[in-house]
Structure 1
């Protein structure tokens, strides 16, 4: 995907904020880096809009928040867009943010103590509000509102194009192309995190789980591909309810899916995956009835190749499929128990336990 825009013949014909931001879009869109696109928005705002503070807040749905009681489930939560692992924050006491989230309209208020303006702008993904840009302590400048509105529209359009390029058309989960890019990033970042963490501390860990819907071919053969597609759609919805906002979900291919569980080892993730397996086992698919799933999981460790990480999770999945299906197996546990031979790393050395 390539972004195109025509630069004005006279630089005075366009606001420098839009020019600098469009320059960043051309460089970043080809890389499909929404995080970088967001950072460029904040950077452009800091350079061209006179204000004390800028915040880009992602609006979370109830499935993305660990709500403990009824009041929490009624609350609206947000998270810093640039810090996806940050703790969700309720906005019930912030009338401006709450009004923007619920009405989907811009909120502008002049603060009586400073005389400066607070501006909250909604950001949309297709037709629904997905985030809010909060500008605090904004100086009044003629014509700036129009420029900001145009900037946010460009930003929203670009995020939509980025997401479409990485989403599976049937399930709405991220596709295989996005999976390959994310796994590569996580393997690289695992090494960087391990080097930054003090030797007396444990580096944050992530793990990869691969899912295969058991005997899915019989659904297509017996009921037709239309019902098969419905099973895939419902399966993806169950995944979206079972895993956290920061966990990355993918349609890996056909009836195969993948989840990257963030901040947890594969052994600790087994109970989470087992809970999902039990949920699926009792779910009644229209016309089809019950289906089960086989799951293999492995750690994403520092200093390993992408192929090694995927191969380990696939080995655990292969073991499940040849030992009764409808189970969750962890690669590291299978190796320790002597049920699997260790996967060789890229250097040819055998990993030790």
Structure 2
């Protein structure tokens, strides 16, 4: 005789329903907002924060031995100012031990709880609950909720990553660049109200003569070049910059808070680092880079096309160099890329 099903936890049912929809849309931010909303409804506390944990050099392979070099930032705001984790002993202890940290606040009488969100093997985020009372029956629900969130966040991140290099993949690039272009319009309106608006730019990077590597040494060595190239990118740029494998031997990079002209020295630093790096059996490789600004009111295709034109100008004029679209246009070395709106072509 079949047993009667146990009464399901309403919190978990509503949260799992949200996960199904959000997983299909691959919206990690929506998933996070759902977690915070559920916590607000079912756990009595003054404040909930989800903090992303990362290294300034984008090296995700940190452990308890070098966790002090990590930074935390607001998960829902990738442009928020990073704060060194060593400045908060609770966060540092949680990230190091992977255990939850609970501490009573003498002044208020409330409690601060820090919970780890685990990735493959390390802590990728920290859930901070402040001003809460002692946990009773809520404790089990909270633990299950965090575990579900960790599992689903891991699946979402796996779908966004390139399997070979570990950078974001092309599909993730398409989604994130659209989001940045839309936000550029909000930033412009914010600038009009006397608040400084951040600038962003897009760089496309193409490894010079990469086909020669595959033809001469085989695809196994070609894959190793791609892996090491991605690792050099991760160590050369900041944690807030977004790195993608755009396709084949081509990579994309969004430099946050930088105009295309200001990004040239950072890109030049990477170009020189690559030029000096010796790949096993192959020796040195070089890269051609094109960069263009991300401006409000323009299509994603237009911005990509501008960076692409600048990159091809670099390849057609000697390779192994960084070319800025805006600078090339100003100097008359490159024709402006047209902006197509409906049937009207604007220049």
Q: Who is 1:138 aligned against?
A: 132
CA contact (8 A) 1:206 1:265 kept: yes
Cα pair distance change 1:76/1:264, threshold 3 Å? closer
Q: Equivalent residues in 2 for 1:47-126 (5 A)?
A: 47-64=41-58, 74-126=68-120
Q: Who is 2:30 aligned against?
A: 36
Q: Distance in 1 between matches of 2:232 and 2:327?
A: 26
CA contact (8 A) 1:320 1:326 kept: yes
CA contact (8 A) 1:126 1:160 kept: yes
Q: Name stretches of at least 5 consecutive residues in structure 1 with no aligned partner.
A: 1-8, 66-71
Q: 2:9 aligns with which of 7, 15, 23?
A: 15
Q: Who is 1:68 aligned against?
A: none
Q: Who is 1:3 aligned against?
A: none
Q: Who is 1:323 aligned against?
A: 317
CA contact (8 A) 1:59 1:76 kept: yes
Q: Name stretches of at least 5 consecutive residues in structure 2 with no aligned partner.
A: 60-65
Listed one character per residue, the Cα deviations across residues 270-294 of structure 1 (whole Å, up to 9, x for unaligned) are 1110111011000011111100000
Q: State the 1:92 CA deviation.
A: 3.1
Q: 1:302 aligns with which of 291, 296, 300?
A: 296
Aligned residues: 336
Q: Distance in 2 between matches of 1:317 and 1:343?
A: 13
Choose 84-93 or 327-336, whichever is displaced more. 84-93
Q: Equivalent residues in 2 for 1:196-345 (5 A)?
A: 196-198=190-192, 203-345=197-339
Answering whether residue 170 of structure 2 is matched by residue 179 of structure 1, we say no
Listed one character per residue, the Cα deviations across residues 273-327 of structure 1 (whole Å, up to 9, x for unaligned) are 0111011000011111100000001111111111111111111111111100000
* TM-score, structure 1 normalization: 0.89
1:82 alignment partner, SS class: coil
Q: Distance in 1 between matches of 2:69 and 2:57?
A: 12
Q: Distance in 2 between matches of 1:155 and 1:320?
A: 45
Q: Distance in 2 between matches of 1:198 and 1:50?
A: 40
Aligned Cα root-mean-square deviation (Å): 2.1
Q: Distance in 1 between matches of 2:314 and 2:261?
A: 16
Q: State the 1:93 CA deviation.
A: 5.0
